[in-house]
Every structure is written in C-alpha cells, then in structure tokens.
A and B are shown apart, each in its own frame.
Chain A
Amino acid sequence: MMASETSSASAGAIKTGDFANVGRAAWWQRGFFASQTAYVAAALLAIVIVMALMSPAFLSAGNVANVAKNFSFIGIVTLGMTLVIVTGGIDLSVGSVMALSAIACAMAMQALAGTGLASVPFATMTLAIAAGLGVAVLVGLTNGLLVARVGLSPFVTTLGMLSIARGLAYAVTEGRGQTPAGPDIDAFYAFTDGTILGVPMAVVYLLGLAAMLGVVLHHTAFGRHVFALGGNEKAAALTGISVERVKVSVYVLCSLSAGFAGILMTGWLGSAPANLATGYELTIIAAAVIGGANLAGGMGGPAGAVIGALLIEVIRNGLVLAGINAYWQIVLVGMIIILAVLVDRLRSGRAA
C-alpha cells in the first residue's frame, strides 16, 4: 500500500515539475466545498426545494417542527457516532442504549417519587436523568475498554452490546413500557419536550451539541488525536498519544449521546417502551456516512452528522406527504447511502 501511494505521489511530482502547486486548487475544490458534506448539503437543498414545490404542506410550520424534532433524536446520536467513526470504530449498540437509558431514567423517577427527595425541587428529575446517563456511561465504558484495552473488534463488541442492552431493557421491565412520573414530571416534559422561542428542545440540544463537537474536534488536542487515530493509529501511538484513553472516551461520549437522546424521546413519547429506538443504529450510521464520515476512519464532522440525519428525515417525510408506501422509504434511504459514498468516490477518483 505504501509503495503504491509513494509511487503515485512521485508520478505527480514529475508531471508538475515543482511542489509549489500541490494542493493549490480553486476555492470550490478545496476545504468544505470539496467535501462530501457539501455535496450532500447541496442535495438536501435541492430536495427541499423540489418538495416545497410539489407539496405546499412540506414547508408549513407544523411539518417543519415535526421534521425538526424527529431528526434531532437521530442527529444527536449521529454526533456521537461520528466521533467513533472518525477514530475508525463503529458503535452498533446505540439503539439499545437509547432504550436502556430511557428506561433507567423513567424507573428512577418513579422510584424517587416515593422518597424524601420528592419535596426538593427538581431533585428527582435531576437524579433520574443522571441515572439514565450513568447507565449510558457504563455501557460506553464497557465498549471502550473491550475495544481499546482488550483489543476486540468494535463491530463484534458493540454487536454483542446491542443484544445485551436490549435484553436488559426487556428483562428489567418485563417487556412493559415505563412511564416517567413524580413531582417533577412537568419540569421533565419541559426539559425534554418543551420549546424555547418556539424551537423544540431537541433541536436546541442538537445544535448546541453540534457546535460543541465542532469546537472539540477542530480546536482541542483531544479532537486532533481523534483524527490522528483514524488517520494512522500506529503513528498516533508512536508520538506518545494515549490511544487507549482517546478510544475509551469516544465510546463513552457516543453512548452518552445515545442515552441523552433516549431520555429526550421518553419525554416526547410520554413513556419508555423496551422496544424504543429498535433498529435506529443503522439509521444513525447511515446518517453519519451520508454526511461524510468515512468508515475507514479519519474523516467526518458535526455539520455532516446534522445534514446526514436531516436528509434522511426530509426524504422520509417527503415520501409520506407524497403518499408513497412507507416500505419504499427504506429502499430509498439505502440507495441514498450508496449514492452519497459513490459520488464521493467518483469525485476523489477524478481528483487523483
């Protein structure tokens, strides 16, 4: 692999004569504009325009709010998933973690409602959310340690965890949905399902977390090490980066994002069923990949995660408005995944 890379690079050098022009491309062929994220953003814009023209209901306030809320749950987890994918890993357990955290949160709130803490304002809600997120951290820590320290494959480890967490969700609830209850229930709904200036809370959290992830990835040493791991893990280790710590961190953060989204969904649904978010892991991975995260590692970002998640939801919503059978949505999402990666491949093939 090394030999072919260097030989293609040297061929370039001979052709161009000097190195001064390497990487000197027009502005629209560089940086963000040359990324898969930009192509997908353009596609998204085109789809939105077409749908708005075809269906007047598409841009109605109600439908926009609906789309925004629906895609935010997926989008929040896609942010965490992107982090894992950038290091070259994968986390298949997120859907199950969403359910397990949601259930832990709802059950903790019920249990705490009967204790002395019920009289302290917001105490039961805060502790219940902490319990839900705590469960997510435990799952992420287990994933991370098995992958980073024991050296198991991320795919297999998190596939096992998908089953374990989902099984636990059914076992502890005996298959019955858990309803959040207690003195703070109104505050809980406001926190998870309320609005700020008309914007659903889930959207607020998504945008806030996306901005945070952008800063972390591009302006902190941790973020740089996340990219370095995906680019060349051996090199990262040789420079003294604590590969194990970075890896464990990304799995914990991914799990946390899933747990948080699960808790938000509980507020939206008014209950935490054991089958919550079943199969979401694939939609989430699809959203990350459509947005430009490369499963080989080293590439991806929050803008892509948000755009990818939004694109899937817009298409799903558009097909519903157009009255197309729901089964075809699944086919179309699959085609878009392949198309997004294909376009990127054709483009980079031409560039090289």
Chain B
Amino acid sequence: MALLELRGVGKEFGAIRALGDVDLAIEPGEAVGLMGDNGAGKSTLVKIIAGNFAPTSGSIAFDGQPVHFTRPVDARDVGIEVVYQDLALADNLTAAANVFLGRELRRRVGPFSFLDHGAMNRRAGELFAELKSETRANDVVRAMSGGQRQAVAIARTRLSDAKLVLMDEPTAAISVRQVAEVLDLIRRLKDHGVAVILISHRMPDVFSVCDRVVVLRRGRKVADKAIAQSSPEEVTALITGAKEAA
C-alpha cells in the first residue's frame, strides 16, 4: 500500500491553473525526485503535501486514510516533515537545541519545569550518530558547515519519527563535498524506511539517490518512471518540453 497517494490533485489561484490533475503514489522508504523548470508547479505540489494550502480538486490519502490538510501542523501530525531550503534553524542555538526546538525535553522540579540539557544532548548525539554525521550536539549552528546544518534539519525529522520527508533543494548553494554528505543523509533516511521527496534542479543528485523521478511541466505530470529506466538526457528533454511525455 502506498504511503502517500494523490489522485487528480489540482490547484487554481484565481484564473491561473498552477497544477492540474496530478496522480502520485509514494511507497515507504522510497525516494522520489521531483523535477521541473521554474513555475512548473513543483513548489505548489510540495506545499499541498506539506499542508500549506488545500488543493482545489482531487484527493490525498496518507497511510491509507484520506487526509485534508489546511495547516502545516495537520501534515506534521500524520508524519510529514519538511526540510526547508533555508533550513529554518536558529543560528544562535546549539545543534541539540535546534533539533528539540518547540518540543524540548523537560524535568519537573516541584511546580517548575526545567530543560533536561543532558537528555537532549544525548538524544541529539544518537540521532547524529544514526545519520553518520559528525555534527556535535553541543556546537552552535552558526559555526557549522552547510552539510552539518542539513544534518541538524534532518535530525529534527528523525526525532518526530516522520514517515515522509520533503526536501526543498537541499543541495543548492553548498560545496561538492557537502553535497555528498547530504546525499548520504538521504540514503540514511531511506534505510530507516522513511520516504523522501527530493525537489532538486541537480540531475546528478536525483540520479544518485532517488528510485524514481517525477517531472512536472506547466502544472502537469509529464513523466513518472524508475531512475533505472531513464537518463539525465531524457529528463532534461522532458523538463524543457523537447520531449512531450514518457
């Protein structure tokens, strides 16, 4: 059974049709590359899945249950987490503090409750070890590399035990070395049975970690095929419209 299933999903902003009639199914532990030119409807689709806004037509099922997200919290509650392009981290806090931001572990002392620094650092350290990242729980995010920041953002999704992680251009604007690090993180997520939707412009990234590639053009899905049966040349042709569909 598919973890996430979209049927005939469409979105209109006034008279503008941003997305039309998209079907998409994602299995647990599967990584799907979502590609398309600017304005092809990628971010609209992602925002619908993340609960930023509701589709104007079509239906969504998660874990076999029909869902109707109206706020991001709705999506997060069922197990969908988003790693934003700008990562949404507080630079002035430590890695552990960012991982636990908004869901801090506390210890009650009489009528007061205090942060349990030890437990949070330990748990964050475990998550980084699990992701095979060298990020240290007690380091301040400001001093971190792009790859380490990604690890912090991804560790957040592990903490909440997300079933589906949406990643928006995680490898844009970071060095080659760190790209490899981020791709490894995505593989770790798959190892743990987490499904990943990778929005990316970078063909090599999609072809190295994804199982499937979905191409959008002008709000329509023009391709949905296994990576092994496609090629970067074909995907490029699909994105630009040189090839109609596959």
Give me the interface of A with B, judged by CB distance under 8 Å.
2-3, 6-7, 9-10, 12-14, 18-20, 22-23, 215, 218-221, 224-225, 227-228, 230-232, 234-236, 238-241, 298-299
Contacts and interface: CB of A to CB of B under 8 A. Distances in A.
A23 B145 contact: no
Interface string B172-209: 01110110000000000000000000000000000000
Given A2-B173, A9-B144, A236-B90, A224 B104 contact: yes
Nearest to A223: B115
B177 A238 contact: no
A3 B85 CA distance: 11
A221 B104 contact: yes
B178 A224 contact: no
Contacts of B143: 22-23
Interface string B110-152: 0011110100000000000000001110011001111111000
Most A C-beta atoms less than 10 A away, residue of B76, B90, B91, B117: B90
A176 to B, nearest CB: 44
B145 A232 contact: no
A242 B144 CA distance: 27
B175 A241 contact: no
B226 interface: no
B101 A236 contact: yes
A10 B146 contact: yes
Interface of B: 72-73, 76, 84, 86-93, 97, 101-104, 106, 112-115, 117, 134-136, 139-140, 143-149, 156, 173-175, 177-178
Contact of A234 (B88, B101, B106, B136): B88
Given A6-B149, A9-B144, 20 more contacts: A2-B173, A6-B174, A7-B173, A10-B146, A10-B178, A19-B148, A22-B145, A23-B140, A215-B114, A219-B115, A221-B113, A224-B104, A228-B93, A230-B92, A231-B92, A235-B90, A236-B90, A236-B102, A241-B102, A298-B92
B202 to A, nearest CB: 15
B89 A220 contact: no
Contacts of B173: 2-3, 6-7
Contacts of A221: 104, 106, 113, 115
A231 B90 contact: yes
A20 B148 CA distance: 11
Closest 5 CB pairs of A and B: A231-B90, A239-B102, A10-B175, A298-B92, A235-B88
A13 B173 CA distance: 14
A231 B139 CA distance: 15
21 contacts: A2-B173, A6-B149, A7-B173, A9-B146, A10-B145, A10-B146, A13-B147, A18-B134, A22-B145, A225-B102, A227-B90, A228-B97, A228-B101, A230-B92, A232-B88, A232-B89, A235-B90, A238-B72, A238-B88, A241-B102, A298-B90
B191 to A, nearest CB: 22
B178 A298 contact: no
B115 A20 contact: no
A235 B101 CA distance: 9
B139 A23 contact: yes
Contacts of B175: 10, 13-14
A215 B109 CA distance: 13
A2 B86 contact: yes
Given A231-B91, A236-B90, A224 B101 contact: yes
Contacts of B149: 6, 9
A228 B90 contact: yes
Nearest to A233: B90
Given A9-B144, A10-B175, A19-B148, A239 B101 contact: yes
Given A2-B173, A23-B143, A232-B88, A220 B114 contact: yes
Given A7-B173, A220-B115, A20 B93 contact: no
Contacts of B147: 13, 19
Contacts of B139: 22-23
B145 A12 contact: yes
A300 B83 CA distance: 29
